[in-house]
Each structure stands twice: as C-alpha cells, then as structure tokens.
Amino acid sequence: MTREIAARAWMGLWYLGYVSLKVILRILIGVERSSWILYITKIHYIKAYYGVKFGGIYGWEPHINKIVKKILKKGLTFIDIGAYKGHYTFQAYKILRKKANSKIIAIEPFPNNYRILESKFGHNPTVQLLNRAIWIKDEIEVDFYIGDIYRDGTSATGRIAWSEPHTDNFSLDKTKSVRVKTIRLDTLIKSFNLERVDLVKMDIQGAEYEILTDPTLDLSNVCNMIIEVHYKYGSRKSREIISALARHGFRIIPLYPEPTLMSYHLLASRLMDP
C-alpha cells in the first residue's frame, strides 16, 4: 500500500509538471510551436500521467477514460470488446445507468475473466455479458491463446489467431490455450437490434487487424470506436487498419502514438444523424 501511494504521488507530481510546462510554453511561444516542441521531445499527456514506472504500478489509460466519458454523456450504447474485468464496462455503467433505453454489452472470451464479469454485472439489466470472441466468422470454435495468469486466475492478454510478433510482447504461450466460440461484430450488433452504437471499445491483442480489415464487415451503425492497435504506429498492418476504417467513413485520430512501442490507441469517429 505504501508503494502504491508513493507511485500515485510521484505520477501526480509528474503530471503537474507536464501541465505547468505546457501552459508556460503556450504563453511564451504559442499553441502550435509548443505542441511541436512537446511532440519532438516526446513529452506528452500519456507519458506524463501514467507512463512512469514505479514498482510495476501504472495508471489506467486516463486519455481513454476521458474519451469514454465525453462520448457516452450524449450517448446510450456502449460495446466493450475484450472487457477483461470490466473497467470500461463499469465506467460506462456509471454514465448510462440512469438513462432510459441505454445498453452496455461486454464481450470477454477467456472463461476466468468472464467469471469476474459475471460476479460484477451478472444481475444488472443494463449490462449484457457475452462469453465469446469477436472474430471474422460466426459460431465457430477457435483456440484462444492466453498470456500470463494472475493470482486470481485472470489474464490481461490473450488473442485468437497465433501471431509471432505478439508472443514476446504480450507473453502469449502457444502451448497454453482454451477453445472459445466466436461471433462477428456486425452479427453482434444485429442480434441486439442496435440501430446505433455510440461507442465501441476494442482491445483484443492484435486480432483487431483481421477483424477491421475484413471487407465484409458492416460498421454502418457505429458512431465511434476506440481501438488499442497492437502493431507499431506506421507499420504495414497499422496503416491497413487505418485505411480500412477510413473506407467505412471514420475520421481517424491516433492517440499519442510512440513509434518504438508495439501498441497505441486509435480513435475512429464520425458524425451520424441524432
């Protein structure tokens, strides 16, 4: 507990320092030049707030939390793909629980993670749980490769379709897998009779490539997507994901990509009739 308090205090001081530097630069040299300097020096919001490692403790994606809150304050429907223990499912529930006709759908393939979701949301009428893996085909059984298992039996990493670049980065084990059933994203949307999806959050450890570049995928009812892309920014697969989303009519906004890392967040957004 002492180490956690110290880590949070250190990250808080780091973040305050970043904000102070940003304000001073804007006053002295203007918005555009200050943004350019922060970009060139690789000092940005993500690193300042939770990129500091202290005893293995990190913050939880404050930039994504902010986007989820902003979009869902005016929205009604949230799909959490790769829900894990339900962090974003709960964030959405806090915002949408008092809104009539709101709907939250959380999808998690790994059975141990899914049991945690059931213990939290199993009797909640606003939250629908689905023990499936989003994939390019419906109702087939596939191997789901699992990463490190924590003390509670859960795992934060795992994916369909073995992909060598991800084995080192996400500690996946080719010998450790479970069989899971699949469902397409557009099939899921139709099965819940969703005429409009305000936000889809997708974190599926690299399988986003096969899903989002599938030319038959229908995203016509989706307004916004936050995707954790598990490929280097600027890589071929990253570019193909961005191009595929652009063909669906989305405006693409990479969120603080760091070219040396194997993953970054992407916001895909478009205006739809209210």
Tell me if 250 sits within 8 A of 241, measured CB to CB. no
Average pLDDT of span 237-245: 96
Q: Tokens 């970043």 sit at which residue? A: 18
Residue type, 103: K
Residues 6+ apart with CB under 8 A from 213: 240, 241, 244
- Spell out the residues 6+ positions from residue 193 whose beta carbon is closer than 8 angstroms to its own: none
Q: Residue 158 — φ and ψ, nearest 5°?
A: 165, 150
Are both 91 and 153 inside the same structural domain? yes
Query: 178 and 110, same structural domain?
Result: yes
Check whether residue 141 and residue 261 sit in a common domain: yes
Q: Is residue 153 part of a domain?
A: yes
Residue of 159 and 204 predicted with greater confidence: 204
Q: How many domains does the chain have?
A: 2
Q: Does one domain contain both 38 and 81?
A: no
Tokens of 77: 């429907």
Q: Which amino acid is at 116?
A: I
**Domain holding 253: CATH number?**
3.40.50.150
pLDDT tens digit sequence for 47-84: 544 444 333 334 457 778 889 999 999 999 999 999 99
Residue 158 identity: G
- What does the alpha-carbon distance between residue 1 and residue 92 come to, in Å, rounded to a whole number? 28
pTM equals: 0.78
Is the confidence at residue 266, as pLDDT, over 80?
Answer: yes
